Amino acid sequence: MKPFPEYQSNDFFETDFQPFIDLPGFFPGAGGFFHGCDRKCEKSIIFYGTDFGELSYQRRLAETGGEPETNKTVKTLRAIVIASGLSLNSCFLTNVVLGLTKGDEAVGNYESTFKRFPDYIQACALWHREWLKGIMPKLVVFMGTPNMSDYGTRIFPELSGAWSKFNSLKDLYSAGAELVKIQNGPSVLLMYHPSSRWHLHPSDTKQRIIRHLEQFAT
């Protein structure tokens, strides 16, 4: 794994940390795979959230054996993957921003923190772009609105024409623009973030997401 992008010291986030790559959970805080799966997973399906939350939480992963299975996002995403028939061992879990916020509480992710640092977001996007070239996944799944409005289109500039005109995931799904095939690259799916608010999203949209994922089950 190549080094993460470096960034000057600041009061908001940290880029100089050691990931627990042998422990399950979102990478780089943890290894990027589900509990019970091989850490050398196939990486044919890449799931992207936004960022990794607070540094203090990530430092506790060694004590908890990785991200707890009760973590709402991981638990919900696992259920979605199983429902779609995808192999858990083919999925790699990561986030776009490779930094960890300082302090004991997550401080709001995109709007309150990382939006102020577009140069670092771009550096992370370039990191992922090169990383994905080496992996050559068949599907990349972006989770959440920041991936529609900013992060995802930095990794795949081709998405700007498909997604930049939409103000919300609801509008994007109404237009049927959530699944895009990148020329000479992977298919890209945008989905609602599987957070604690997952149950609030329309059931037909959630079923549509599962049907999209089913296409890539082997």
Q: Give the model's pLDDT for residue 111.
A: 66
HEC letters along the chain: CCCCCCCCCCCCEECCCCCCCCCCECECCCCCECCCCCCCCCCCEEEEECCCCEHHHHHCHHHHCCCCCCCHHHHHHHHHHHHHCCCHHHEEEEECCCCEECCCCCCCHHHHCHHHCHHHHHHHHHHHHHHHHHHCCCEEEEECHHHHHHHHHHHCHHHHHHHCCCCCHHHHHHCCCCEEECCCCCEEEEECCCCCCHHHCCHHHHHHHHHHHHCCCC
More confident residue, 216 or 28: 216
Domains identified in the chain and CATH numbers: 13-214 (3.40.470.10)
pTM recorded for the entire structure: 0.94
Q: What is the pLDDT of residues 169-182, one digit of tens each?
A: 999 999 999 999 99
pLDDT digits (tens, 9 = 90+) for 148-194: 988 999 999 999 889 988 999 999 999 999 999 999 999 999 999 99
* Average pLDDT of the residues in 86-90: 96
pLDDT at 104: 60
Share of the chain above pLDDT 70, in %: 95
Query: Does the structure show a pLDDT above 90 at 140?
Result: yes
